[in-house]
Amino acid sequence: MSITESHLAILLFVAVFLVLLLGYPVAFALGGTALWFALLGYGLDLFDTAFLEALPNRIFGIMTRETLLAVPLFIFMGTVLERTRIAEELLESLARLCGRFRGGMGIATVLVGMLMAASTGIVGATVVTLGLLALPTMLRRGYPKGLSCGLICASGTLGQLIPPSIVLVLLGDVLSAAYQQAQLEMGVFSPRTVSVGDLFAGALIPGLLLVGLYLLLVLVLALLKPEAFPPVALDCRPSLRDLLTSLLPPLFLIVTVLGSILIGLATPTEAAAIGGVGAMVLAALKRQLNFGTLQACCEATARITSMVFMILIGAAIFSLVFRGFYGDEMVVEWLSNLPGGEEAAFALVMGAVFLLGFVLDFIEISFVVLPIVGPALLKMGLDPVWLGVLVAVNLQTSFLTPPFGFSLFYLRGVAPPEVRTSQIYLGVVPFILLQLLLILLLYFWPELVTWLPGKIYG
């Protein structure tokens, strides 16, 4: 049997996956493997090198894309808030306020996770912070180990969904390109666009709904098993001044950043710049900002941003080579011919994203998988904002799911020795079920996603 372009396209995808499992850096695994396959295809006269001639334009487009400038700015804002103890003070104040009630420490953990998600958007930092600050207190006061761990993991992953989320920024960029490509292939030569602001607005209600489900679970369990969720008698109740100084500044920053995007006063990039400056002002007012802290924040931002953009370049190479083997056409044809039509194709892609979330980060999935399957799904008539929010919820669920969920690894690294890994795994099960419930709600009632963007942007 002779080798065809389709065979090489499938082998390329499998080879990249295997190279990633071997532990090679994602950016180099994507770009390097794709270049080797391009060389192999050229030798077999199955690949046109003209596809790679588009690479400089692709890289230049990545460098000059204004939307992506929001990524380092949001990362900087989150890093400043994390390293200047603003998040820590927030947890301490809410714990003192809510801890007097049964399940109050759990409620405080969810609320802090929500506020940190809306102000930092960095999952690892949130899980580690909550694990270091909230978990020891909950365990000392007799909270169940498993549920305490599950609550922290779930609250820490809210940054995947609640705006301003780095995930939504990247998904917005990818889906915008996929949506325009799908419309052009359908003969629409004045294509509509989807923006990051659309995704922020679409994710707001689902994010708050998920927070409500978490809080409802804590309250129900506290009623059913009051002995397992005792009040946490902390040293003292917070004074009104302490409460206002720890709660109001982050809330003001969140409302300013997110509100300026939703009402159209600023683009996501401009709002991210406001957030970065605002985070430094808050840290300076609390006398937590000095040259060493600022240098550490800048270095962390540069390191994370460099990783993101190197992955973007590697994904661009992979995409060009995959397209050179006509892999995109193969995927479109395959999804279009599935028995069950649109529903089957959507279910297959969501299942694949969920499984890939065990071993790949959201950045790789966003820039490798979605550019391939996105145009095919959008050509079937799916709403791009609805699709983007469902993918974000799906990725958040995979972050929680044993045995490979990233959130579980983050917590395992800071949890006390007496907490077993099996307890962490069992503790997240109720929250995974709530995530799946949210996916079902969004699937059967798309208006939960599409209503707010329609109201705001028409």
For residue 448 the two structure tokens come to 């939960």
Q: Place 447 in a pLDDT band, splitting at 50, 70 and 90.
A: very high
DSSP 390-434: HHHHHHHHHHHSTTT-HHHHHHHHHS-TTS-HHHHHHHTHHHHHH
Distance (Å, whole) CA 414 – CA 257: 31
Distance (Å, whole) CA 221 – CA 104: 12
Q: Place 216 in a pLDDT band, splitting at 50, 70 and 90.
A: very high
- At residue 57, the pLDDT reads 83
- Are residues 417 and 174 in contact, defined by beta-carbon separation less than 8 angstroms? no
Lowest-confidence region among 127-131, 157-161, 240-244:
240-244
Mean pLDDT along residues 397-405: 77
Q: Is residue 458's pLDDT more than 70?
A: no
Distance (Å, whole) CA 91 – CA 180: 43
Which of 381, 341, 304, 301 is CA-nearest to residue 80?
301
Q: Which residues contact 24 (CB under 8 A, 6 or more apart)?
A: 32
User: Is the residue at 321 inside a domain?
Assistant: no
User: Is the residue at 22 inside a domain?
Assistant: no
The three-point CA angle 169-154-242 to 5° equals 90
Distance (Å, whole) CA 258 – CA 77: 13
According to DSSP, residue 163 is labeled: S
Number of structural domains the chain divides into: 1
Beta-carbon-side half-sphere exposure of residue 314 (alpha carbons within 13 Å): 25
User: Is the residue at 40 inside a domain?
Assistant: no
For residue 258 the two structure tokens come to 């997110």
Distance (Å, whole) CA 46 – CA 57: 23
User: Is the residue at 404 inside a domain?
Assistant: yes
Q: Which residues contact 441 (CB under 8 A, 6 or more apart)?
A: 209, 448
The full length of the chain comes to 458
Q: pTM value?
A: 0.79
Number of other CB atoms surrounding residue 416 within 10 Å:
10
- Are residues 371 and 178 in contact, defined by beta-carbon separation less than 8 angstroms? yes
Q: Is residue 1's pLDDT more than 50?
A: no
User: Is the residue at 120 inside a domain?
Assistant: yes
Task: Sort residue 419 into left (φ over 0), alpha (ψ -120 to 50) or beta.
Answer: beta
Q: Place 321 in a pLDDT band, splitting at 50, 70 and 90.
A: confident
User: Is the residue at 408 inside a domain?
Assistant: yes
The three-point CA angle 37-364-129 to 5° equals 150
Share of the chain above pLDDT 90, in %: 9
Which of 142, 150, 132, 137 is CA-nearest to residue 96?
137
For residue 410 the two structure tokens come to 């983050």
Angle, helix 291-324 to helix 55-64, in steps of 10 degrees: 150
> What is the per-residue pLDDT across 78-118, written as a single tens digit (0 to 9) for each?
778 777 777 667 777 777 777 667 778 888 888 888 877 77
Distance (Å, whole) CA 369 – CA 128: 28
User: Is the residue at 349 inside a domain?
Assistant: yes
Q: How far is CA 303 from the centre of its chain?
A: 18
User: Is the residue at 5 inside a domain?
Assistant: no
- At residue 109, the pLDDT reads 84
Show the domain range for 151: 66-288+336-457
Instruction: State the SS3 of 213-282.
Output: HHHHHHHHHHHHCHHHCCCCCCCCCCCHHHHHHHHHHHHHHHHHHHHHHHCCCCCHHHHHHHHHHHHHHH
Which of 434, 53, 448 is CA-nearest to residue 216?
434
